[in-house]
Amino acid sequence: MNPQKDNIKKEKKKKNGKRLFFRILIIVVLALFIGATAYSVNARRLVRNSTPMPFGWGASVVLSGSMEPTLSVNDLVILRATGDYKVGDVVVYQSGASRVIHRIIGIDGESVVTQGDANNTADEPILMKNIKGEMVGKVPFVGAVIRFLQTPIGIILVIAGLILLINLSWKREKKEDDGELDEIKEEIRRLKALEEERLNSAAAEKADAEDISAPAEEETEETEETEE
């Protein structure tokens, strides 16, 4: 066993494993992105649900300044459906085909009154069942990116970018494989050159040996003739 060759094989196997993991990760991200986009589009267009809440969790982007200074335009709001809302909670509810992010200022049975922190008047009462979820967190300004990714050009760019990453990974692997193949070819050429040099050296030594033995034979023949 050649330790150097074993180390090279292990290193190559490790690199191949990392590349495979990277490609699988990209494919999973791509599948999740396409699935989430399709789910969101279907929820909005088919069932008129502006804020899908899979597994009781969701997110919404602030589109106006009605909740300043608590929330600003393009903040990403993280939502959780609790079913137990109280006065002071910031909630998202559906009004027609759009969504509203306001604070609860009054509850009367199943009737809820909300108002934006920056507004002077309250909203029209809504039913408790129309509330999608309560705000449990926010990420400032990320909503601008989310909104762009929901546009046709944003979707195309994300898909094209992920496919490009996979393609670059394949090209990099091919380049390294071609480099290894070139090294093998170079090693074969080197070994052939060494073999030719060895053969030439052996032939030269043989020729020198023949040149040295020839005068000795001539001297032997001359000696025999003198004796006669």
In angstroms, rounded to a whole number, what is the distance separating the alpha carbons of residues 103 and 85?
A: 11
Report in angstroms the alpha-carbon separations of 57 from 28, 80, 177.
21, 5, 46
85 neighbors 104 (Cβ within 8 angstroms): yes
In the chain, the amino acid numbered 182 is: D
121 neighbors 115 (Cβ within 8 angstroms): yes
Q: What is the mean pLDDT of residues 23-36?
A: 75
In the chain, the amino acid numbered 208 is: D
pLDDT higher than threshold 70 for residue 6: no
**Could you report the per-residue pLDDT of 35-93, keeping only the tens digit for each?**
666 656 555 554 455 676 667 888 888 989 999 999 999 999 999 998 889 999 999 99
- Mean pLDDT is highest, among 86-95, 179-188, 203-212, for 86-95
In the chain, the amino acid numbered 129 is: K
Write a three-state SS string for the chain: CCHHHHHHHHHHHHHHHHHHHHHHHHHHHHHHHHHHHHHHHHHHHCCCCCCCCHHHEEEEECCCCCCCCCCCCCCEEEEECCCCCCCCCEEEEEECCEEEEEEEEEEECCEEEEECCCCCCCCCCEEHHHEEEEEEEEECCHHHHHHHHCCHHHHHHHHHHHHHHHHHHHHHHHHHHHHHHHHHHHHHHHHHHHHHHHHHHHHHHHHHHHHHHHHHHHHHHHHHHHHC
132 neighbors 53 (Cβ within 8 angstroms): yes
Domains and CATH numbers, the chain: 54-149 (2.10.109.10)
**Could you report the per-residue pLDDT of 121-131, keeping only the tens digit for each?**
999 999 998 89
Sign of CA dihedral 102, 99, 83, 142: negative
Q: What is the mean pLDDT of residues 170-175?
A: 78
119 neighbors 66 (Cβ within 8 angstroms): yes
pTM of the model: 0.56
Give the model's pLDDT for residue 42: 56
